[in-house]
Amino acid sequence: DIQMTQFPSTLSASVGDRVTITCRASQSITTWVAWYQQKPGKAPKLLIYDASSLESGVPSRFSGSGSGTDFTLTISSLQPDDFATYHCQHMGTFGQGTKLEIK
Amino acid sequence: QEQLVESGGGVVQPGRSLSLSCAASGFSFSSYGMHWVRQAPGKGLEWMAIIWFDGSNQYYADSVKGRFTISRDNSNNTLYLHMNSLRADDTAVYYCARLRRRGITAEFTMDVWGKGTTVTISS
């Protein structure tokens, strides 16, 4: 089975910072990688699909990239609403999640 | 708007069974594959099962294979998850989610999620 290792597990940053979260697959995979944002007590929200396609309605400060085994989610300029947990996904496997905290 | 509403969660003793439902509205339910995903307290997301748009195929995570059954009723726009032999580690919030692409697709991206229903396994 393919494993998705997501890091860092916790990230402290400030409003306006540029941040990057990484998911590394245990073997080379297709670009069917999605990224979700989840706030406490809420369902996940799709941000990015097909590794780099922005879901409709998602702000353009979110972007995704990657191929092979390494995939990244970048937030270009953090906004207060972005402090949340982020999950990557490939097929039936999710990463462990990254909690983005205010520094 | 497109909406999924889960129901059926509760407190159940170990070894017992429970069925969850997910009512869909605002989109053509019969055109989309559907997932169940769970999240144990303080943990990450765990994919459970997928069913094709027409119910013709189902796939399960190893952790629930043989114990959980996913099914759907397209005439009533409802997805189900029947859970048998429940264990303490099945305690979680259970979400239903829609496959992003219509029809037959090999990808698993989920674009519409319900708010979840909580299942607690405890004696």
**Interface touch B45/A55, C-beta < 8 Å:** no
CB atoms A46 and B110 under 8 Å = yes
Question: Where would I find the beta strands (DSSP E) of A1-103?
Answer: 4-7, 10-13, 19-29, 33-38, 45-49, 53-54, 62-75, 85-90, 93-94, 98-102
Inform me whether the pLDDT recorded for B106 exceeds 90: no
Separation between Cα atoms, residue A70 and residue A86, nearest integer Å:
16
Whole-angstrom Cα distance, residue B69 to residue B66?
8
CB B37 within 8 A of CB B51: no
Q: Which residues pair with A19 in a beta bridge?
A: A75
Give the tens place of pLDDT for each residue, A32-90. Answer: 999 999 999 999 999 999 999 999 999 999 999 999 999 999 999 999 999 999 999 99
- According to DSSP, residue B89 is labeled G
Tell if the CB–CB gap between B95 and A44 is shorter than 8 Å.
yes
Which residues on A lie below 8 Å from B109 (Cβ)? 32, 34, 46, 49-50, 89
pLDDT value, residue A53: 97
